[in-house]
Structure 1
Amino acid sequence: MRLEDHILLETPEFVIVSKPAGMLTLPDRHDNELSSLIAIMKKAYGQIFTVHRLDRDTSGIILFARTEAAHKYFSQLFESRDVQKYYLGLVHGELPEKKGSVNEPIMEHPVQKGKMVTNRRGKASLTDYEVVEEFGLYSFVKMQIHTGRTHQIRVHMKHLGHPIAVDELYGNGQPVLLSTIKKKFKLGKHTEEERPLLSRLALHAAMLVFKDPSGKEYCIEAPLPKDISAVLNQLRKSKL
């Protein structure tokens, strides 16, 4: 990964990066520490602080603090929910309500480690959603999370019965194939097997809106990655 291609904004207090899908924010127990985003950031900046994180397969926007004071400020900002966090994702099917909120507490699954469930005994969790485009098989949805629970969007979309596409934990995990989108799809002569258009979680952290310690407001967007854009292009073509 060429870090300079992923930096969206750099100030003396913070750096905002667009994380590629498939990369951990922080190393886990099984992961090679050098391949996490924080390791790459430390190599480039020396002192750097993690404020929040994204799932490995979610692409998009992450803010890192560059000083201890900024780390304290931004950590409190995220905790007090004074940061607006917007995501874009492909979900299965078409939602009956084109705009709405999911206000369902989330807790850890009682048996499956690493999985979350909606449960009234869980922590308060709120997600707003709005359908941007519909394609029958899939819908492109904008989501805003007001709380930062583990897997929040994925759990809430599953709760609605429209899990995020290619979600192995909360959906069927099936990749997005051109053959399921394009009616007259044919494999190329020398191709034995179809390559998926998208084989990772179809979720992207698209935008952060916040104020820095001096009170200046920022609205930073991470462009949609090529893999999700390619799926959208095919879905739009098939809709014509």
Structure 2
Amino acid sequence: MELKRIQHRKIAKESHLLDYLLSSFQINPLQANALIELGAIYLNRKRCMENCLLKPEDYLRVHLQPKRFRTPKDISKLILANHEDFLVVAKPSGLPSIPSLDNALENLKHLLEDFLKSSLHPVHRLDVDTSGLILFAKNKLAARDFGKLISSGQIHKTYLALSEEQVSPGPYRHFLKAGQKPPFQLTGERGNSSDKECRLEVLSSQKISCSESFLMDSNLYPNLEKLGTGFLHQIQLYTGRTHQIRSQFSHLNAPLIGDSLYGSQTNLEVFALQSSKIWFKFRSESYQFEYTPTEKACAIYD
């Protein structure tokens, strides 16, 4: 009988984690060690990344099929600005911003920390398939200050998105009902006080050939020439909800190309969304960063 992807076990007798995995699940030593190293195992609700000693009554949760992600060969190429208090980084599509529940290693935060040999604090996040600019604080004090800027709307971001239909330039406001799981369904009016406001503005919109868009890379989209045309939008984000641009464009009947979760009819591995510009004032100094790819999005993996 095939085991469920997530196993919950109560330990009956003392043993080491590796021995327990080999005797309890249909995996070999290489697979067992990979689960430990990836951080796919939790002991008493804390991530366990070593061959620790299990004791009777311990609670063990094992993610037997952790999701894997490609990682760049040279993480230093992604660092666009290295300030004493923060980093500005160009996140590639297909890489998580932060550790996932079943994979603590294959993400941008861990790779940067391993390269810099210091801890980082994410100021905001990008979805796995979203590429472009992301900001990390380099110390707790800077993280606190950036948190205040985020909460007061003083970190400004624009995105480029390629969609199947056109959204006219202008402001858009929707509401997200609390307690939902993706894909999020939005409404045009607030239903109750717990609904979260989602605001963005489409600054420009133009019809283009998908094969000519720098957002689209033939390594990610093998049938690029078959995609035809799409609509490239420049978007300013005013609130930072999870999946906000994706869900709002879907609500406007213009899903992002490749975003099957939100209704795209184009069968691709990723969707076309890029964080292209970020600007803010930090401790009396103004900063602005723009991301203009000069090489194919996947070249860092080659």
Shorter-chain TM band: 0.7 to 0.9
The equivalences for 1:118-157 within 5 A come to: 118-119=186-187, 120-121=190-191, 122-135=195-208, 137-157=229-249
Match of 1:43 in 2: 114
Give the percent of matched residue pairs that are identical in Structure 1 and Structure 2: 30
Is 1:218 the counterpart of 2:290 in the alignment? no
8 Å Cα contact 1:131/1:142 also seen in 2: yes
Separation (CA, whole Å) in 1 of partners of 2:92 and 2:249: 22
Q: Supply the RMSD in Å over aligned alpha carbons.
A: 2.0
Taking the aligned partners of 1:70 and 1:15, their CA distance within structure 2 comes to 11
Q: Are the counterparts in 2 of residues 109 and 115 from structure 1 also a CA contact under 8 Å?
A: no
TM-superposed CA distance for 1:82, in Å, is 0.4
**Partner in structure 1 of residue 185 of structure 2:** 117
Per the alignment, in what secondary structure is the counterpart of residue 159 of structure 2?
strand
2:164–2:264 Cα contact (<8 Å) kept: no
Q: TM-score, with normalisation over the residues of structure 1?
A: 0.77
Q: Which residue identity is paired with 2:85?
A: E
Distance 1:115 1:70, change over 3 A: same
Question: What is the DSSP-based 3-state SS (H/G/I as helix, E as strand, rest coil) of the residue aligned with 2:105?
Answer: helix
Instruction: Please list every run of 5 or more consecutive structure 1 residues that lacks an aligned counterpart in the other structure.
Output: 176-197, 229-240
Q: Does structure 1 residue 69 correspond to structure 2 residue 137?
A: no
**What TM-score does the superposition give when structure 2 sets the normalisation length?**
0.62
Check if 1:171 corresponds to 2:260.
no
1:117 to partner: Cα distance: 1.6
Question: Could you say which residue in structure 2 is the equivalent of 1:237?
Answer: none
Summarize deviations over 1:156-213 as a string: whole Å, max 9, x none.
11111111110021122524xxxxxxxxxxxxxxxxxxxxxx6411000001010122
Q: SS of 2:160's equivalent?
A: strand
Code of the residue aligned with 1:66 in structure 2: it is K
Residue deviations 1:91-143 (CA, integer Å, cap 9, x gap): 11233x3x111111123575xx3321213332011010033421484110000
Instruction: Tell me if structure 1 keeps the 8 A contact 2:178–2:196.
Output: no
In structure 2, stretches of 5+ residues that fail to align are 1-71, 209-227, 298-302
